[in-house]
């Protein structure tokens, strides 16, 4: 919830929301790094990012920017259709 943790309101209907997907992609990559550092997160291929709407866009951008092995996969439900 990168809107709530920043004290921001909803993004619906706002083209000028102060937490665009590119900013929030860093949140997703940081969460993936945290998960990889946990005792239960070291096995397997790596974390999977999941996001809906703005979170879906953020997850896709994070996945595209990730280094090999940083993120195993992404599930993006209803991401934005604009250019990344």
Do 36 and 42 meet the contact criterion of CB atoms below 8 Å apart? yes
Mean pLDDT, all residues of the chain: 81
Q: pLDDT (tens digit, 9 = 90+) per residue, 53-82?
A: 888 888 999 999 998 888 889 999 988 776
Neighbour count for residue 54 (Cβ, 10 Å): 21
Instruction: Supply the angle between the helices 21-36 and 54-65 in degrees, to the nearest 10.
Output: 60
Judged against a pLDDT cut of 60, whether residue 84 lies above it is answered with: no
Q: Given this model, what pLDDT does residue 14 score?
A: 66
Q: Given this model, what pLDDT does residue 19 score?
A: 65
Q: pLDDT (tens digit, 9 = 90+) per residue, 6-63?
A: 777 776 666 666 667 777 888 888 888 898 888 887 666 788 999 988 888 889 999 9
- The whole-model pTM stands at 0.75
């Amino acid at each position: 919830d990168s809107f709530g943790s920043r004290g921001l309101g909803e993004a619906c209907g706002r083209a000028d929301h102060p937490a665009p997907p590119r900013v929030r992609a860093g949140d997703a990559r940081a969460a993936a790094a945290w998960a990889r550092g946990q005792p239960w997160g070291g096995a397997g291929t790596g974390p999977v990012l999941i996001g809906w709407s703005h979170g879906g866009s953020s997850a896709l951008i994070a996945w595209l920017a990730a280094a090999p092995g940083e993120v195993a996969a992404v599930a993006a439900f209803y991401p934005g259709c604009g250019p990344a």
